[in-house]
Chains A and B, each alone.
Chain A
Amino acid sequence: MDYPEPQVEELKRYCRKLGAVQEGGVTFYSLEGLCLPAGCDPPVCDALLCPTSRDQYPSRLFLSVKVKSPYDRNWNRENARIGEKNWFAFSWKVEGANLTLAQILTGHLLGFTKPK
């Protein structure tokens, strides 16, 4: 799925370097140095945003480390091999119609800031 350029540009605000990884016909947005919400440890890490359906989730955010956050999360995907790197993801479903890429991303980041 192609996203409008302004939406892709908006993602740049959240990270040090934005790129794309193609694997298995899926486009992942690579967010190098992604800023995480207050209270997260580490405060910055690399991430891959898959804005399309995967693992029975409407979208997924893969992180380079298992982030410690104010709320414990169920890390149900460990060492997922994508783009020749290992990634971690917690169980978090972001739903909503016509969400922009940044809204999908912040929807996942909300997972670190709310109880459930």
Chain B
Amino acid sequence: MDAGQMLLARLAGFTATLRDNGFAVGLAEAADAARIVASPLAARPALLGAALRALVCADAAQWRKFDDLFAAYWLARGMRRVTKLAGAAPKQGAKTLRQLAEASPHGEPRATDTPTRQGNDEQNNPADRRGRREGASRSDLLARTDFRHIADPQALAEAHAQAARLARVLRTRLTRRDRAQKSGRRIDLRRTIRASIGRGGTPLDLVWRRRRDAPLKLVLLLDASGSMSLYTAVFTRFIHGAMQNFHAADAFLFHTRLVQISGAMRDKNPQRAIDRLSLLAEGVGGGTRIGECLAQFTRWHARRVLTRRAVLMIVSDGYDTGEPGALGAAMAALRKRCRTIVWLNPMLGWDGYAPVARGMAEALPHVDLFAPAHNLESLRRLEPFLAKL
């Protein structure tokens, strides 16, 4: 084997590594990579790295990840290849390829960073077992929450049906809107003339101009703190349904941190979706810092995720341990970015509950619809209100 062939064999290994890490490297890309390796660009590692990076990366997250992968493979720098972590706590120190694979697209911590604070009130409080507990806590929960029960087929089917209904409701509303617009529609002169060609230039068939309507986008922010643990499963199922049924949807979990779960929940196979979610969801069931998480959402995700056609649905009990004022400021910023904010509060269904918690009181002025929701039934009752938004 000569040097060129050896290089090509190494390259094949590298493309395999990239595919393992979620890069979409097709045959055409592999062929182009081979051309790069055969060109003068392969003379220096830095050049080769820059060239391959431009070829195989598809977004900013991959762009940032590539250098580490490249160094690990070609220069064997500070990397170990680990097959599966399976429940073991991630070790500090040299990053593994798998950890890189899990690094979040926007740089905020995800499953692989170990929280520094250890919750003690969580472990000692017996009420926590049942999850029904008022108040919030600052601590992160280390234990990985078991999401398996979420995949219960029947419950999942119900949640999907509900999400599909909701998607339909929001769409019906759009068609109604469309019809109302017809009174104000104008003639599309260009297309009318085009249509008249077939009639020898007499404009018999008029073409009307209508406003094009795109369906709404749903963005879900689910509070997954300890005080919400009774409802997390219901809404996780609902999110899974929404991801499949809405034209466009995005979902995030937040507790003391914010985690984007759209990718995991878009997985059609519920079991796989839940596996991926469990990896992401470390810290679920701990305390809440709603204000910080929302601010983080505004800063890193809102620009991409929220459009003028987005409905932002926040599911939280509003028990916040962050700085006073942070939640209100974050909500005000979000208000400017999206069309509608819906806040679903499971506690609102309880007798004698009033939204006096400081967090809730701060958020309320910025919310368009504030409603109770603790199960699918209550979501169903909400449909008419959501349809009116």
Partners in one complex: no
